[in-house]
Structure 1
């Protein structure tokens, strides 16, 4: 474990991603979370939960592009895990194609975690995507976070 993040035994940085839309579809938020000093979030006035979940992973991959970071991504969406594992998508094909392009050549592993069950990283991502969704619903500035700081 480093001072700023948790790592797997093989040195991958552990990151949680999450997305939410409330109502679904409706104002949405996405977030990825490593630590209180390394996270990002964003929102949309009108989206779906699945698009927000995809946006979280996509924005993580964009934030770490070119850094050489080896990632272990904790995901509470079985939909996104399936997409990342190669399942065909009949919806959200624009985001799916972009996500898969960003995954090309990257050293990434994934793990499903049950949401809202006390996993510190998942809870951090959930809180931030919820805050982003609430800001989008109010029409106020979304708290975007410090970004990738490792």
Structure 2
């Protein structure tokens, strides 16, 4: 069997609203997913210089700038991501990324976890560990 079992899949959260980021981070960690939360595109890029998450959740309009270029970078690196926004979902989304899943705030934690797990399970040759699936 060629499947690699991930001990703890890693999710990068890029969200400048601290309460929202902390809430998502806590919920995903309880589900067995390692989380790195950052509050800006700049911090996300710095973290990505030495790390590669399995998935990212990106608030599209951040205090420091739009996450447009970050979205293109994630896509270019083959890192699956979802856009999480309180704004009109197609506003500012790069047209060259038509298949990106856009989620409208607010979304329930359970629905967000289902989406994250669905994406993780679909990754070639990778299966999330049991703790992530037991929530």
TM superposition score normalised by structure 2: 0.34
With CA pairs under 8 Å and 6+ residues apart, which has the higher RCO, 1 or 2?
Answer: 1
